C-alpha cells in the first residue's frame, strides 16, 4: 500500500511528546511489513543540524493564503526506508522558522497553512494514495480539503484514517481562519459539520470535530480511551460527534519502537541488559545505571533506597498535584526521586520551582525542568519505579518505555495506562500480566496506598522479579501495526 502520513511531529527529529514516537514507530513497522510510507512534516530551521543529509528537492509548491501566493520549498530524506518530506514555508510570518514546534498565538494559522501546503504537494505529485493517515488537530483540515475540493481536481485517496492522540486539543478556530485558506467557512458553521458544540460561542469552528466527521476511519490510541471519549469528561465536549460516528471509531494501543528503545544497545546507558539475561545479571546492570544516575545528579550514593522517577510534560493532564504529593511521600519514606520535565503552564511551573527550592539541600531528590532525552534514558534505566498519576491518559508511552527498561510503573487506572498496567496484587489478572501498581481514584490516599505497597515489596525483594518478568512483555509495534493494516484494508 502507498501510505502517506501527515504529522506535526516525528521522533527523534521533531518531538514534544508521544505523537512523535508513535508516527515514527508506526511508520518503521509499516515499512518492515512491506508498505510504502511517506511522512510529511514541517521544516524547522534546526532540521538541517539534526539530519545533515536532508536534501532540498528544488521543487516549489505555491499555496494561496489570505489571497496571497506563497512559495514553499520541499526537502526530503529517506530514513530507514521511510520517505520523509519536509515543507519549508517562505511565508512572511515565517510560520515554521521558529525555535519551538507549538506555543505561538498563531498556531491555528500555522498548522492550517502547513496542512494546505501538504495537500497541495500531494495533489501535485499526482499519485494514487491508498491511505492518507492524519494525526491530531494540526492536520484535521486535510480530510475536508480533500473531500470538498481536491477530490474534484483528480486527486485520489482511497481511504482517510485519522488518529486522535489526545481529545483535549481540538483546534478551535474562527470562520476567518478557514476563509484564509480558501474555504467557504459559512458552510462549515453547521452542527453536522464543524460547528463547535461545547462552547457558548456559536460562531466557533472545531477542526478535530471536522476530521471525525470527514474521515473514513477514526482511531484513538488505546481501547479504554476509545470508550472514555464517548463520555463528556473524556471527549472534552466532542462526545456527541464521537457517539454519532462510533461505527468508524477504533482503539488501537500504541506500540513502542523496540529498536529506538533498546536497553541492550542504548548508548546512554552504562549497564546494558535484555530479556536473555538472568535475573541476577539484569539487577547488576540496573544497579550500575542507578549508581551512574546518582553520581551524575549528585544524589546520595545509596542503592538500598528505592528510586522513583517522573518523566513528562507537567500539564494538568499528567496530575501535577499528585506528583507533588507523591514526592513528599517518597522523600518522607526514605526513597529517592528524580523528575525530568517542564510545564508550559506558568502557575504549575512556579509551584515546582518552589518545591525545588524547598528541597535544595536534599541529596535524595533532583529536578530537571527541561526536555532532555539522554537524561530521560538514564532515568528509565536506573530507576526502580516510575510514577504516572494522570487525570486522563490516551495511551501513555512512559510506562511502556519504563517496563522495557525494567522499571516498574505506578499508575492511575485510566485510558492506555489501564490497558497496559495491571496491579501486582490483582488476583483477577493472570500472574504473568501483573506488572505494576494501579490506583483508581484521582486522590492522594489511593496513590499513597500504592506507594506503600511499592516500598514494602522493594524492601522484601519482591520487585526485582516483577521488573525482570516485565522484560518479557511485548509492547512493540508488531500487534498494533497489524491492527492498523487491517483497518487500512477495510472497505469504506
Q: Residue 486 has which C-alpha cell?
A: 487491517
Nearer to ligand ADP among residue 21 and residue 29 (C-beta):
21
User: By three-state DSSP, how is residue 205 classified?
Assistant: strand
**Min. distance of Cβ 221 from ligand ADP in angstroms?**
8
**Min. distance of Cβ 88 from ligand ADP in angstroms?**
25
**Min. distance of Cβ 374 from ligand ADP in angstroms?**
8
Residue of the chain from 236, 371, 429, 443 that contacts ligand ADP (CB under 6 A): 371
Kindly state the number of chain residues that form the binding site for ligand ADP, as judged by CB under 6 A.
18
Site string for ligand ADP, 398-427 (x = CB under 6 A): x--x--------------------------
User: Alpha-carbon torsion 390, 393, 399, 401, what sign?
Assistant: negative
**Min. distance of Cβ 11 from ligand ADP in angstroms?**
7
List the one residue out of 122, 112, 133, 180 whose CA is nearest residue 155: 122
Which window, 81-89, 133-141, 394-402, 469-477, contacts ligand ADP (CB under 6 A)? 394-402
**What is the DSSP secondary structure assignment for residue 428, as one 8-state letter?**
T
**Min. distance of Cβ 349 from ligand ADP in angstroms?**
13
By the 8 A CB rule, do 369 and 341 touch? yes
Residue of the chain from 255, 341, 382, 389 that contacts ligand ADP (CB under 6 A): 341
Mutual orientation of helices 478-489 and 18-32 as an angle, nearest 10°? 70
**Min. distance of Cβ 239 from ligand ADP in angstroms?**
21
| Residue ranges in 10-29 that form contacts with ligand ADP under rule CB under 6 A | 17-19, 21
Nearer to ligand ADP among residue 17 and residue 237 (C-beta):
17
Q: Dihedrals φ, ψ of 200, to 5°?
A: -80, -15
**Min. distance of Cβ 400 from ligand ADP in angstroms?**
8
- Note whether 236 binds ligand ADP by CB under 6 A: no
CA dist., res. 156 & res. 139, Å (int): 18
Residue of the chain from 212, 376, 417, 471 that contacts ligand ADP (CB under 6 A): 376
- Note whether 266 binds ligand ADP by CB under 6 A: no
**Min. distance of Cβ 320 from ligand ADP in angstroms?**
13
Residue with cell 512572511: 92
- Percent helix, strand, coil in the chain, to 5, is 40, 20, 40
**Min. distance of Cβ 9 from ligand ADP in angstroms?**
9
User: DSSP string covering 431-485, please?
Assistant: GGG--BEEE-SSSHHHHHHHHHHHHHHHHTT-HHHHHHHHTT---BSHHHHHHHH
The three-state DSSP-derived secondary structure of 148-173 is: HCHHHHCCCEEEEEEEECCCCCCCEE
User: Alpha-carbon torsion 273, 276, 279, 281, what sign?
Assistant: negative
Nearer to ligand ADP among residue 133 and residue 313 (C-beta):
313
CA dist., res. 411 & res. 450, Å (int): 9
| Residue ranges in 307-326 that form contacts with ligand ADP under rule CB under 6 A | 311-313
| Residue ranges in 67-106 that form contacts with ligand ADP under rule CB under 6 A | none
Order the strands of the 82-89 sheet from edge to edge. Answer: 55-65, 68-79, 82-89, 36-42, 2-6, 129-135, 157-164, 217-220, 249-251
| Residue ranges in 185-224 that form contacts with ligand ADP under rule CB under 6 A | none
- Note whether 372 binds ligand ADP by CB under 6 A: yes
Nearer to ligand ADP among residue 258 and residue 448 (C-beta):
258
Residue of the chain from 184, 373, 449, 472 that contacts ligand ADP (CB under 6 A): 373
User: Which stretches of the chain bind ligand ADP, using CB under 6 A?
Assistant: 17-19, 21, 311-313, 340-341, 371-373, 376, 395-398, 401
Amino acid at each position: 500500500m502507498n501510505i502517506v502520513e501527515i504529522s506535526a511531529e516525528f521522533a527523534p527529529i521533531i518531538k514534544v511528546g508521544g505523537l512523535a514516537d508513535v508516527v515514527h514507530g508506526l511508520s518503521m513497522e509499516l515499512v518492515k511489513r512491506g508498505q510504502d510510507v511517506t511522512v510529511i512534516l514541517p521544516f524547522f530551521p534546526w532540521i538541517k543540524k539534526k539530519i545533515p543529509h536532508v536534501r532540498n528537492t528544488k521543487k516549489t509548491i505555491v499555496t494561496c493564503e489570505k489571497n496571497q501566493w506563497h512559495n514553499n520549498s520541499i526537502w526530503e530524506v529517506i530514513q530507514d526506508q521511510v520517505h520523509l518530506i519536509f515543507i519549508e514555508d517562505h511565508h512572511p510570518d515565517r510560520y515554521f522558522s521558529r525555535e519551538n514546534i507549538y506555543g505561538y498565538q498563531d498556531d491555528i494559522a500555522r498548522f492550517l497553512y502547513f496542512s494546505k501546503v501538504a495537500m497541495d504537494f500531494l495533489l501535485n505529485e499526482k499519485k494514487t494514495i491508498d491511505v492518507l493517515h492524519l494525526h491530531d488537530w494540526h492536520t484535521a483540515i486535510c480530510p475536508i480539503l480533500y473531500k470538498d475540493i481536491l477530490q474534484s481536481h483528480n486527486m485520489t485517496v482511497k481511504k482517510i484514517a485519522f488518529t486522535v492522540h489526545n481529545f483535549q486539543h481540538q483546534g478551535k478556530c474562527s470562520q476567518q481562519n478557514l476563509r484564509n485558506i480558501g474555504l467557504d467557512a459559512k458552510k462549515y458553521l453547521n452542527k453536522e459539520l464543524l460547528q463547535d458544540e461545547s462552547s457558548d460561542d456559536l460562531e466557533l469552528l472545531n477542526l478535530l470535530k471536522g476530521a471525525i466527521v470527514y474521515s473514513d476511519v477514526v482511531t484513538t490510541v488505546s481501547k479504554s480511551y476509545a470508550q472514555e471519549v464517548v463520555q463528556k469528561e473524556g471527549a472534552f465536549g466532542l462526545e456527541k460527534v464521537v457517539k454519532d460516528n462510533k461505527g468508524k471509531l477504533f482503539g488501537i494501543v500504541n506500540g513502542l519502537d523496540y529498536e529506538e528503545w533498546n536497553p541492550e544497545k542504548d548508548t546512554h546507558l552504562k549497564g546494558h541488559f535484555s530479556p536473555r539475561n538472568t535475573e541476577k545479571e539484569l539487577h547488576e546492570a540496573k544497579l550500575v545505571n542507578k549508581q551512574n544516575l546518582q553520581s551524575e545528579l549528585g544524589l546520595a550514593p545509596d542503592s538500598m533506597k528505592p528510586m522513583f522517577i517522573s518523566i513528562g510534560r507537567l500539564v494538568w493532564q499528567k496530575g501535577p498535584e499528585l506528583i507533588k504529593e507523591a514526592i513528599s511521600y517518597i522523600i518522607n519514606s526514605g526513597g529517592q526521586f528524580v523528575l525530568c520535565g517542564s510545564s508550559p503552564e506558568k502557575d504549575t511551573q512556579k509551584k515546582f520551582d518552589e518545591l525545588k527550592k524547598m528541597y535544595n539541600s536534599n541529596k535524595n531528590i533532583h529536578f530537571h525542568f527541561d526536555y532532555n532525552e539522554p537524561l530521560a534514558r538514564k532515568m528509565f534505566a536506573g530507576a526502580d519505579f516510575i510514577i504516572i498519576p494522570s487525570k486522563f491518559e490516551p495511551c501513555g508511552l512512559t510506562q511502556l518505555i519504563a517496563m522495557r527498561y525494567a522499571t516498574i510503573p505506578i499508575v492511575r487506572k485510566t485510558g492506555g495506562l489501564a490497558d497496559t498496567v495491571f496491579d501486582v496484587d490483582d488476583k483477577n489478572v493472570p500472574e504473568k500480566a501483573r506488572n505494576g501498581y494501579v490506583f483508581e481514584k484521582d486522590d492522594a490516599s489511593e496513590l499513597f496506598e500504592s506507594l506503600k505497597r511499592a516500598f514494602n515489596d522493594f524492601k522484601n525483594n519482591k520487585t526485582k522479579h516483577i521488573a525482570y518478568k516485565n522484560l518479557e512483555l511485548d509492547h512493540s509495534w508488531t500487534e498494533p501495526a497489524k491492527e492498523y493494516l487491517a483497518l487500512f484494508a477495510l472497505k469504506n
